[in-house]
Amino acid sequence: MKYPVYERFYTWQGEGVHLGRAAYFIRLYGCPQACPWCDSAGTWHKDYRPEGVTLMSETDLAEVVRADSPDGAVVVITGGEPILFDLVPLVDALHALGRRVHLETSGIAPLRGAIDWVTLSPKPFGQWPEASVVAQADEVKIIVHDPADIAAGLDTLNGLREDAVIWLHPEWSKARERDLTVLNAITEAVKANPRLRAGYQMHKLYRADDLDAHSDKRLIPLGGNAQLGY
């Protein structure tokens, strides 16, 4: 199996239950959701697609993970939308190294591969997650660009396990605004419903990912191209 690799880098997990854990990230190309504030638009926006996309086999990827990160570091497969690919060979190769494998997905296709931790980030304005992926989610990350996104995100979670953690993450441009509307809405939602947790993208404050030469250093605007509105 050949996977289209946008970037790969060793850093730490900046979000969710595994916040702060050493993690090797594999970011794959491709996503049909086209979120207007996407912070990984280089994986799908046509303006940022290079002439040639790097293709790596599961063996190639397992080898760079082994060479560039120590035993004990988890591997996070993200995108883009990695659930579009058959992840079985990649997950099996990483398990053969003794690594735990985590996945970040919007859940729009059946999950293939024995993933150890599933982070579901539903996109209620786009394709909703499949019920089978909702049922397998270990944690959920609802991105809050507008206070209404909280209820809209929760609506997509029918069948979520009781022990799954639900994070409310301020969308990055909102997380940094002087206007506290979004942050205050998250605070009030958590206070009203203790099942919810307030989140933040800690790695962006540290700029931790930039330290690895293999991470993408281009300054791609959120959503790809604000002037084009997507």
Residue numbers at the binding site for ligand SF4 (CB under 6 A):
31, 33-35, 38, 40, 43, 79-81, 106, 123
Both tokens of 187, joined, read 């605070």
- Report the nearest approach of ligand SF4 to the CB of residue 66 (Å): 27
* 35 or 189: CB nearest ligand SF4: 35
Task: Quote the DSSP letter at residue 33.
Answer: -
Give the ranges where 48-99 is alpha helix by DSSP (H). Answer: 58-68, 88-96
* 33 or 57: CB nearest ligand SF4: 33
* 99 or 123: CB nearest ligand SF4: 123
Beta-sheet strands, E only, within 58-173: 74-78, 101-105, 117-120, 139-144, 165-170
- Report the nearest approach of ligand SF4 to the CB of residue 109 (Å): 12
- Report the nearest approach of ligand SF4 to the CB of residue 230 (Å): 9
- Report the nearest approach of ligand SF4 to the CB of residue 119 (Å): 11
CA atoms of 85 and 4, how far apart (whole Å): 10
* 93 or 102: CB nearest ligand SF4: 102
The sign of the CA dihedral 228, 152, 111, 87 is positive
If we measure between CA atoms, which residue out of 52, 58, 31, 33 comes closest to residue 42? 31
Instruction: Give Dmax (Cα) for the chain.
Output: 49
* 34 or 135: CB nearest ligand SF4: 34
CA atoms of 54 and 177, how far apart (whole Å): 36
3-state secondary structure of 87: coil
- Report the nearest approach of ligand SF4 to the CB of residue 44 (Å): 6
